[in-house]
Amino acid sequence: MSGLTLNNISMRFDLPNGSHVQALQDVSLHLAKGELLSVLGPSGCGKTTLLNIVAGFLAPTAGEITLNGHAVRGPDAERGMVFQEGALFEWMNVRDNVSFGPRMAGRRKADYLPEVDRLLEIVGLKDFRDKAIYELSGGMQQRVALARCLANDPDVILMDEPLGALDALTREKMQALVLKLWKETGKTVMLITHSVEEALLLGERLIVMAPRPGRIHKEYRLPFAELGAGMDLREVKKHPDFGTTREDILSMIWNMEEEIMGHMEPAS
């Protein structure tokens, strides 16, 4: 079967004091090739844990993940990852960062350099390719991270709040870029975000997770990513459904957070 399949994933962390945290409980999901899924949920509901399991950095305590029919056992070049920040290699310049994957795979320079330069052009960093990483702004660094991931041509791209550290304006531009890259490359994408708006704009599908134990609470299919590929994202936000869905999800997450706070009260 093609695509990414999560089969009853559960994750339990045993804490040193003897208690344990059920970070995920029976999470099942299927992502077809080329789908973009955004994941929302209150803090601590297990989003990062889920993504780390898909990336292969964590082994779930129960359940199985398959990609294109084979089981996921550890990290691999077929599943690329874009982190929030600080995952670039400061000791390499922009171009060496982007070409890291192909270089490690032992490909010849002539093979990968044109593609690397093309990606740098797409993310608007053609003139910065010889610059050091610490000379770039936060938004530029995230564009390098995107290009680095794409240069390796993964089947699935996993993003954990990739735009979380950026300011609102840069963030909007980057959202358009992510959307454009997704449309152009047809990659399967799983995107974690804290911004409901971002989740709506970018996600073809959207899941809202609930905490304690972490599970999928509700799933949406959304038209906005399709719209956004053809028009200005600001226009998309004016769509009547956009506002209502946003309010819907916001109050859902708000209620969950309330519940958590309520949970905490008796303990303190």
Partner 1 sequence: MTGIAILLVYVLAFVLAAAAAGLLRRGRARRADFSSLKTVTFGDESAIRPDRLASIASVVVIFLLWGAFTGSKLVPLHVSGPFAGETSFTYQSEGTGGQLSDGRVRITVGPDGTLPAGAETSDDVAVAVQSGRNKLIQLPGDARVVSVNGTEIAPGGAVPVEDGTVSMTSKGTLSFAAERGLQMEPIWLPSPEAVVGRFIEIMANGYQNYSLWEHIGASLLRVLAGFTLGALVGIPLGYAMGLSGWFRGWFDPIVEFMRPVPPLALIPLVIIWFGIWETGKVVLLFLAALWVMAIAARAGVSGVRISKIHAAYSLGASKWQILRHVIVPNSLPEIFTGARVAMGVCWGTVVAAELVAAQMGAGMMIIAAAKFQLTDIVMMGIILIGLIGFGIDLLMRQAETRLVPWKGRS
Ligand X SMILES: Nc1ncnc2c1ncn2[C@@H]1O[C@H](COP(=O)(O)OP(=O)(O)OP(=O)(O)O)[C@@H](O)[C@H]1O
Q: Is 38 in the site for Mg ion (CB under 5 A)?
A: no
Residue 140 or 145: which CB sits closer to Mg ion? 145
The encoded tokens of residue 27 equal: 């999470």
81 touches, from Mg ion, ligand X, partner 1, none (C-beta below 5 to 8 Å by class): partner 1
Select from 41-49, 70-78, 93-101, 260-268 the region that touches ligand X (CB under 6 A).
41-49
Residues 8-37 close enough to bind ligand X by CB under 6 A? 13, 15, 21, 23
Q: How many residues bind ligand X (CB under 6 A)?
A: 12
Pairing of strands 36-40, 188-192: parallel
Using CB under 8 A as the criterion, what x/- string covers residues 61-90 for binding partner 1? -------------xxxx-xxx-xx-xxxxx
Measured from each CB, the residue nearest to Mg ion is 48
* Closest CB to partner 1 among residues 89, 254: 89
Q: Which residue is nearest to ligand X (CB)?
A: 48
Q: Tell the smallest beta-carbon distance from residue 158 to partner 1 (Å).
A: 8
Q: Of the candidates 47, 79, 95, 129, which one interacts with ligand X according to CB under 6 A? A: 47
49 binds, among ligand X, partner 1, Mg ion, none (CB under 5 to 8 A by kind): ligand X
Min dist CB 263 to ligand X, Å, is 12
Binding site for ligand X (CB under 6 A): 13, 15, 21, 23, 41, 43-49
